[in-house]
Chains A and B, each alone.
Chain A
Amino acid sequence: MAKGTNDAKLLIQSLRKAYAATPTSLKIIDLYVVYAVATALIQVAYMAMVGSFPFNSFLSGVLSCVGTAVLAVCLRIQVNKDNKEFKDLPPERAFADFVLCNLVLHLVIMNFLG
Chain B
Amino acid sequence: MFSRWNWVACGFCLLLNICSPDASGGLVQSCGHIIPESPVLALGSNFTALCILNESCLDFGNIYASQIIWKIKNRLVPKEQYREINRTVSSVTFNDTSSLATPLTCNILADGQIEQNIYGITVTVGLAPEKPKNLSCIVHQVSRFTYVMTCTWNPGRHTFLDTQFRLRYSWPEEIFPDCIPKDVNNSCTITDIQFFVNTEIWVEATNALGKAESDHLVVDPIDIVKPLSPQNVSLTSGILPTVLQLCWENWISDAVMMLKFNIRYRIVGDTNWLEVPSEDTASTRTSFSVQGLRPYTEYAFSIRCMKEDGVGYWSDWSEEKTGMTIEDQPSKGPPIWRIIDSSHSPAFWTVHLLWKALKPFEANGVILQYEVTVRDKSSLSSPVKKYNVTSTNHTLELREGTYEVTLVAHNSVGASPPSVLLIPASNSKAPVKNLRTLPKHDKLWVGWTAPNSYVLKYVIEWCLVSSSSDCIIEWQIALGDVQGIDLKGIKPFKCYLITVYPLYADGQGSGQSVKAYLKQDRPSKGPTVQTKKVGKAEAVLTWNHLTVEEQNGFIRNYTILYKTIDGNETVVTVDPSKTEYTLSSLTSDTLYTVRMMASTDNGSRTGPDFTFTTQKFGKGEIEAIVVPVCLAFLLIVLLGVLFCFNKRDLIKKHIWPIVPDPSKSNIAQWSPQVPAKHNFSSKDQMYPEGSFTDVSVVEIEADDKKSFSEQDLKPFDLLKKEKSTSEGHSSGIGGSSCMSSPRQSVSDSDEGETTQNTSSTVQYSTVVLNGYRDQTPVQVFSRSESTQPLLDSEERSEDHAGGADSTAQRQQYFRQNGGQDETNTDRPCFERAKQITHANEGDLVGFVQLQISGQSSQPLGLGMEKNTQEAAVSNVLQTCTEGQTVRPETVEENPLSVDEMPKSYLPQTVRQGGYMPQ
To the question of whether A and B form a pair in one complex, the answer is no
Q: Which residues of A contact B (CB under 8 A)?
A: none
